[in-house]
Chain A
Amino acid sequence: MSTALPLGGAALLPGLLLAVTWAAVAADAVAAGRAAGRPVSWTVALGLPGREAVRLLVGQRRRTAAGDELLRGIGGAALLVAALMAAAVLPLGLRPVADLGPGLVWFNAMEVVAWAAVWLVGWGANSTVSLIGGYRFVAQGLAYELPHMFALITAAVGAQSLRVTDVVAAQQGLWFIVIMPVAFVAFLLSAAAMAFWGPFDAPVGRDVAGGAAAELSGVDRLVFSTGRWLLLVASSAMAVPLFLGGGHGPWLPAWAWVLVKTLAVLGVLIVLRHRVPTIRMERWTEFSWVVLVPATIAQALVVTLVVLGRGGI
């Protein structure tokens, strides 16, 4: 059984996540420019994350009248911390920072913290549009969480373990995406939804003037948007050990395969964002509960039967 990375891995993890985030922000800027018919060059786009970060670091923090600063601060920090904690069980190569027994449950628990975080940020600002944005995310959570959990369960059933490294080990021969494609699609969509990433960006939509983030400025906004990006990166990186064979692959070392696959998943999500308009929570709830929940349950059933047929459990 593989074990956790040495302590240095824990120090490395935030840096790695931020580097991938940097690339994703730049790719998103290029994609946005292309969609708008006003191309942005890669050189400009690559400088963009740094520029925006400096802009927000220099920017003044702003308070709203009678806002709850404490709750807002807790919310913003929680989003960032939850994303990092969720990433702790990600195998960077074949070994994660923390090889927890119930790794999948841990990942799920950490990402659910985002519900509270976004809602607190929306509530704390004492502003109508922020509050609407915060509640939108809670409603969105109701929509995406069930298919998401069934997708996680399906991968766990396939590997007969909740430990993420076991899930990777089980895919040595065959990637799980082949035997559980429905679970993979459900996971990918819910990864976008949990990071309120387009087409699920209604909680921070333009119609509510930035929604939960509407009143954030300066370092508050930086923490919130970094947390959001890290959550997106962490959840799309999780698709790699769960469905895409983790570090398994020919020629390249395991860590390189994880990186390549993670960037590919992020690329799909970035393209999705610029192709599809925002899907409102009530619409998504309808689709999610009527189509995705039965489909993921059926998927879990099929995988269970396959595992039983092989003499597992």
Chain B
Amino acid sequence: MDLRTALLRAAVARPHVLVVGGVGTDRLRARVEQEVARRRWPVATAPADTDVVVVVGRPGPELGAVIEDVWVGVPAPRARVQVVDEHEIVPGLDETVGTLGDLDAQRALAGRDGSRPTRAASPSVDEDDEQHEHSAHDDHGAEHGTEHGTEHHHHGGGTELPGGLAMADLAEDRDGLALDQLHVPLGPVLPEWPSGLVVDVALQGDVIQDARARFLDVEAGEAVERLPDAARALTSVARVLALAGWSGPAARTRGLRDRVLFGEGDTAHVADELDALRRRVHRSRVLPWVLGSRKSSRGAVLDALEEKFSSARAALGGGGEHRPTTTDLPALDARLVGAEFAAARLIVAAANPAPQPALAEPTSTEGAS
């Protein structure tokens, strides 16, 4: 083993993982997150911080295109693995360590200089086709994007910069001043973001002027697998806490969710821990202070958090009847308009929308503004 290989192996022993899944993959995704946490591997914040991309389930064409986009932005040494079954998780993650430490494989993967190609310059690129079946990139020109997606949004009338980027528009802000307005898709690859959700927003500064939420690859009326109520509520709580910068309690909540989903029937103990966590959140004086934003009647997110705790507690038994409230996409759009970026992230995490066959037609939802 020469020095370079030794160095590479040392470098990749604790890879940062980016988990990407479409709508309806939440259960498998939770399993992946659990295994990643068990290995003490950090969860990446963005593609640039990623070593391993774990694709959960079989992404549809829209999400598939987004994943290709994300993959281009992941710096070498890098590895990608697709997981469609719980039994594939452990061998899959083990395999990525091997790929990351393999100098020849990495040379092949790091062919480019790491810059993101523009749409025109990148006909469907797929570096490791043999591992992946989703080669449906026919709609590569459609408007998708990650959180870095400004470069892909060809807004009508916007001036093109070199590299195929769209310039910002001008529009009136909330005080009636003409300011730059940027059209950006939020999601689906963002930390603490609901699977498969994309919100196309118009941003001025970091204030959202217009929002349109949609789910990728979901046909109207299609039935989608959902997590049980308790696990779903806990996922939402964990995301809100993580976005509030309280990573310890967030990780503990996620651990509780995993035990609700996969635990060996020790629900009594889980309920106790849930109550302890809830008391801790209640006791915090900083959390209400930072969550309550000036405009929204002090702490709509805080109320949602409380509601999720009750819902999880009720689902675990012992908390009385409780029907979890659900948010449909038009309602979410309405709430996002006028929110600042940080507040918007919290609103989405607290609402935790899911496709609702009876109610929503995700492709034709209209913003409330």
A127 within 8 A of B: yes
A7 within 8 A of B: no
By a CB distance below 8 angstroms, the chain A residues around B203 are 128
Beyond A38-B37, A217-B75, whether A32 also contacts B286 by CB under 8 A is: no
By a CB distance below 8 angstroms, the chain B residues around A283 are 289-290
Please, how many angstroms separate the alpha-carbon atoms of A278 and B342 in the complex? 11
Q: Do B164 and A202 touch (CB < 8 A)?
A: no
Q: Do A62 and B165 touch (CB < 8 A)?
A: no
By a CB distance below 8 angstroms, the chain B residues around A55 are 11-12, 14-15, 51
Q: Do B12 and A65 touch (CB < 8 A)?
A: no
Residues of B within 8 A of A (CB-CB), count: 65
Which stretch, B107-115, B261-269, B314-322, touches the partner chain A? B107-115
Please, how many angstroms separate the alpha-carbon atoms of A277 and B246 in the complex? 4
B188 within 8 A of A: no
By a CB distance below 8 angstroms, the chain B residues around A202 are 245, 342
Q: Do A217 and B48 touch (CB < 8 A)?
A: yes
Q: Do A206 and B342 touch (CB < 8 A)?
A: no
By a CB distance below 8 angstroms, the chain A residues around B113 are 63
- Mask, A8-40, CB within 8 Å of B = 1, is 000000000000000000000000111111101
Q: Do B287 and A62 touch (CB < 8 A)?
A: no
- Mask, B336-351, CB within 8 Å of A = 1, is 0000011001100000
Please, how many angstroms separate the alpha-carbon atoms of A55 and B42 in the complex? 13
Please, how many angstroms separate the alpha-carbon atoms of A135 and B341 in the complex? 12
By a CB distance below 8 angstroms, the chain A residues around B45 are 206, 209-210, 214
B182 within 8 A of A: yes
Partner of B46, one of A52, A129, A218, A274: A129
Of B37, B148, B205, the most chain A CB neighbours within 10 A belong to: B148
Partner of B165, one of A33, A58, A66, A221: A66
By a CB distance below 8 angstroms, the chain A residues around B115 are 62-65
Please, how many angstroms separate the alpha-carbon atoms of A207 and B346 in the complex? 8
Partner of B206, one of A35, A63, A135, A206: A135
Which stretch, B79-87, B131-139, B248-256, B356-364, touches the partner chain A? B248-256
A247 within 8 A of B: no
| Cβ distance A271 to chain B, nearest Cβ, rounded Å | 11
- Give residues 67-89 of A contacting B (CB, 8 Å): none
- Mask, B276-311, CB within 8 Å of A = 1, is 000000001011011000100000000000000000
Q: Do B164 and A35 touch (CB < 8 A)?
A: no
Partner of B161, one of A66, A198, A210, A214: A66
Please, how many angstroms separate the alpha-carbon atoms of A79 and B61 in the complex? 42
Please, how many angstroms separate the alpha-carbon atoms of A202 and B10 in the complex? 31
- Give residues 156-206 of A contacting B (CB, 8 Å): 198-199, 201-202, 205-206
- Mask, A46-59, CB within 8 Å of B = 1, is 00100110110111
B190 within 8 A of A: yes
Residues of A within 8 A of B (CB-CB), count: 55
Partner of A64, one of B116, B191, B249, B346: B116
Please, how many angstroms separate the alpha-carbon atoms of A132 and B342 in the complex? 10
Beyond A35-B248, A35-B251, whether A65 also contacts B165 by CB under 8 A is: yes
By a CB distance below 8 angstroms, the chain B residues around A208 are 341-342
Q: Do A215 and B11 touch (CB < 8 A)?
A: no
Q: Do A221 and B49 touch (CB < 8 A)?
A: yes
CB-nearest residue of chain A to B273: A37
Beyond A199-B286, A210-B46, whether A64 also contacts B75 by CB under 8 A is: no
Of A38, A127, A205, A277, the most chain B CB neighbours within 10 A belong to: A277
By a CB distance below 8 angstroms, the chain A residues around B255 are 36-38
- Mask, B200-211, CB within 8 Å of A = 1, is 000101100000
Beyond A60-B114, A279-B290, whether A207 also contacts B345 by CB under 8 A is: yes
| Cβ distance A137 to chain B, nearest Cβ, rounded Å | 13
Q: Do A206 and B8 touch (CB < 8 A)?
A: no
- Mask, B229-265, CB within 8 Å of A = 1, is 0000000000001111111110110010000000000
By a CB distance below 8 angstroms, the chain B residues around A278 are 244-246, 290
Q: Do A58 and B48 touch (CB < 8 A)?
A: no
- Mask, A119-150, CB within 8 Å of B = 1, is 00000001111001001000000000000000
By a CB distance below 8 angstroms, the chain B residues around A58 are 7-8, 11-12, 77
| Cβ distance B27 to chain A, nearest Cβ, rounded Å | 21
A98 within 8 A of B: no
Q: Do A127 and B11 touch (CB < 8 A)?
A: no
Please, how many angstroms separate the alpha-carbon atoms of A58 and B289 in the complex? 42
Beyond A36-B251, A66-B162, whether A217 also contacts B12 by CB under 8 A is: no
Q: List 8 A-B contacts (CB under 8 A).
A: A32-B247, A36-B251, A51-B10, A126-B150, A129-B147, A206-B191, A206-B245, A278-B244
Give B contacts to A, CB under 8 Å. 7-8, 10-15, 37-38, 40, 45-46, 48-49, 51, 73, 75-77, 110, 113-116, 118, 147-148, 150-151, 161-165, 182, 184, 190-192, 203, 205-206, 241-249, 251-252, 255, 284, 286-287, 289-290, 294, 341-342, 345-346
Give A contacts to B, CB under 8 Å. 32-38, 40, 44, 48, 51-52, 54-55, 57-66, 126-129, 132, 135, 198-199, 201-202, 205-210, 213-218, 221, 274, 276-280, 282-283
